[in-house]
Amino acid sequence: MSDFEIKPYPELWGALGMDVERFDKMRLMMGDMFAKSYLGQPNRPAGMAYFDNMIAEIHGGRIKELLAAKAEGRPVIGTFCVYIPEEIVLAAGGICVGLCGGSQGSVPDAEKTLPRNICPMVKSAFGFKAGRICPYFQAVDFVYGETTCDAKKKCWEILDKMVPTYVMEIPQCKRPRDIALWNEEIRDFKAKVEEVAGRAITEADLAGAIKVMNAKRRALQRLNGLRHHNPSPISGKDGLLIEQIAFYDEPLRFTEKVKDLCDELEERVKARVAVPATGATRVMVAGTPMALPNWKIHNLVEGAGAVIVNEESCIGTRYFKDLVDEGVTGMEAMLAALTDRYKEIDCSCFTPNDERITQVIKEFRDSRAQGIISYSLQFCHTYNIEEVRIRQACEAEGIPYMFIESDYSPEDMGQLQTRIEAFLEQIGG
Ligand code: BJ8
């Protein structure tokens, strides 16, 4: 039996106006889930200790850092999408946190207000605020939403009654006039962040923040590249955990820890040390993000003896594959460089979105996977429909493929396990 514990901070939670008793039960459940999913893995890299500790301190240690920043007048901003340029928040001395939306526990809170038949990520996130069961939601100065999918953009209007929620208009196409609008939206975002920070962002601030974020993304690219070795020196579950922690950890510290881990993984590659059994079937996942603590697909696939070697997702490569051009100077040029970088993200909310189809096939080849699991959260229309094109491209390329549409409830676990095992048997031989 593991002695792992997510640490309790009831006084801190009380001061944040949370439902302390209920949250404490959720803390115990998440700790138990984490211990069962993660700590029994054989032969984990020593460098995972830092990330395990980030989970142990998720409801206290990092929250204290956010509150300390706020006390210094530095803005703390919650986001739900990788289209929000973190560089601008960092440039103002602020902190950007990706808010959680990966738990079934908060869904009933949302269903008291929102329709049931919408995306579980939207419901989970909304429920965390409605039920006062997320310290991050309680700590942020405001939330920055976006007009990506219908579920999110309509939800912001209701969320705004509970926490100030500003919305960035993300266009649906990528024509020159759409890009011009986007650039305007990035300027508005900068103005909002400056207003809350009480100071203007200088060119030096923004140049520094671009470097910090590029370094973080390079570290994640390096980690992803190491996962592509066969045998993979780290499990897919651990890869996913690091990607999830990337959304709330302090970027400089996080980058150093990822780099340290990569040094260790390089040694393991040379020595052919792997967490998954040598010869484990290699799978790539493509599709909707997996917000903390959504480990459902990884638990099922790796529980069946296979290994996930790549996430083509906003929790994965869509977050870190593109860098901002560091070679430009002047505020205008840097804001244009930010627009350029962010428009490369190939979310299914765009039309047309041919880049994503090409990218999925490229990542399949790069990762030396043997098959693709396309994953869509229930009721996510854009990913669900784009699945048709991903499937067609895989058929054309002869790539083994399966599609999973799921939510956060455990109800479909048995059925998914059977389907996944059949898929692995088909591609593993
Ligand atoms: S850039 S994928 S993070 S919007 S919430 S679209 S799953 S119905 S999260 Fe996303 Fe930004 Fe795109 Fe990435 Fe579907 Fe659910 Fe909407 Fe979702």
Can you state the angle between helices 236-245 and 48-56, rounded to 10 degrees?
A: 50
Is the CB of residue 200 less than 8 Å from the CB of residue 180?
no
Closest C-alpha residue for ligand 1 atom 11: 81
H or E element in which residue 345 lies: none
Q: Is the pLDDT of residue 3 over 90?
A: no
**294 ligand 1 Cβ < 6 A:** no
Q: How does pLDDT run across 245-263, given as a tens digit for each residue?
A: 999 999 999 999 999 999 9
Residues 234-244, mean pLDDT to the nearest whole number:
98
Site to probe by mutation for ligand 1, drawn from 285, 288, 385, 406 as the one with most ligand atoms within 8 Å of Cβ, is 288
Span 209-238, pLDDT tens digits: 999 999 999 999 999 999 999 999 999 999
Site to substitute for ligand 1 among 349, 350, 379, most atoms within 8 A of C-beta: 349
- Residue 119: CB within 6 Å of ligand 1? yes
Ligand 1 centroid from CA 149, angstroms: 7
Closest residue by Cα to atom 13, ligand 1, is 314
Query: If you measure from the C-alpha of residue 424 to the centroid of ligand 1, how many angstroms do you get, rounded to a whole number?
Result: 27
Closest-CA residue to 287 (of 400, 422, 138, 387) = 387
Protein residue with its CA nearest to atom 8 in ligand 1: 380
With a 6 Å cutoff on the Cβ, whether 125 touches ligand 1 is no
- Ligand 1 within 6 A of 314 CB? yes
* CB of 349 shorter than 6 A to ligand 1: yes
Atom of ligand 1 nearest to the CA of 120: 15
Average of per-residue pLDDT across 43-70 = 97
Residue 377's Cβ-side half-sphere holds a number of Cα atoms within 13 Å equal to 26
The alpha carbon of 377 and the centre of ligand 1 are apart by a number of angstroms equal to 9
- Residue pLDDT, tens place only, 98-152: 998 999 999 999 999 999 999 999 999 999 999 999 999 999 999 999 999 999 9
pLDDT bucket at 1, cuts 50 / 70 / 90: low
Residue owning tokens 């229309």 = 381
Ligand 1 touching residue 380 (CB < 6 A):
yes
Q: How many angstroms is it from 11 CA to the middle of ligand 1?
A: 34
Any ligand 1 atom below 6 A from CB of 345: yes
The mean per-residue pLDDT over the stretch 352-371 comes to: 98
Which pair of structure tokens corresponds to residue 340?
């350029």
Please report how many Cα atoms fall inside a 13 Å half-sphere around the Cα of residue 329, on the Cβ side. 0
Q: What is the three-class DSSP state of 356?
A: helix
Mutate to test the pocket of ligand 1, among 83, 107, 149, 384 (most ligand atoms within 8 A of CB): 149
Which ligand 1 atom is at minimum distance from the Cα of 380? 8
CA distances from 83 to 60, 178, 334 (A): 27, 14, 16
pLDDT digits over 17-37, tens only? 999 999 999 999 999 999 999
pLDDT of residue 100: 83
142 token code pair? 């405001």
Confidence category of residue 61, pLDDT binned at 50, 70, 90: very high
| Residue 133 CA, ligand 1 centroid: distance in Å | 22
Atom of ligand 1 nearest to the CA of 150: 16
Q: Which two tokens stand for residue 172?
A: 């649906």
Q: What is the average pLDDT value for the chain, to the nearest integer?
A: 96
With the most atoms of ligand 1 within 8 angstroms of its CB, the residue from 148, 169, 341 to mutate is 148
pLDDT-based confidence at residue 428 (cuts at 50, 70, 90): confident
In the predicted structure, residue 278 carries a pLDDT above the cut 80: no
Could you read off the pLDDT of 279-330 as tens digits, one per residue? 899 999 999 999 999 999 999 999 999 999 999 999 999 999 999 999 999 9
Residues in the chain: 429
What is the rounded CA–CA span in Å between residue 175 and residue 31? 46
Structure tokens that stand for 171 in this block: 């266009």
Verify whether ligand 1 is closer than 6 Å to residue 90 (CB atom): no
Cα 316 to Cα 298: distance, rounded to the nearest angstrom: 13
User: What is the whole-number distance in angstroms between the Cα of residue 168 and the centre of ligand 1?
Assistant: 14
Query: How many angstroms does the Cα of residue 81 sit away from the middle of ligand 1?
Result: 7
Q: Which residues pair with 312 in a beta bridge?
A: 286
Six token digits for residue 137: 């939601």
Q: How much is the average pLDDT of 72-90? A: 96
Based on C-alpha coordinates, what's the Rg of the chain? 21
Could you identify the atom of ligand 1 that is nearest to the CA of residue 345? 1
User: Residue 429's pLDDT is what?
Assistant: 61
Reported confidence tier of residue 276, pLDDT bands at 50, 70, 90: confident
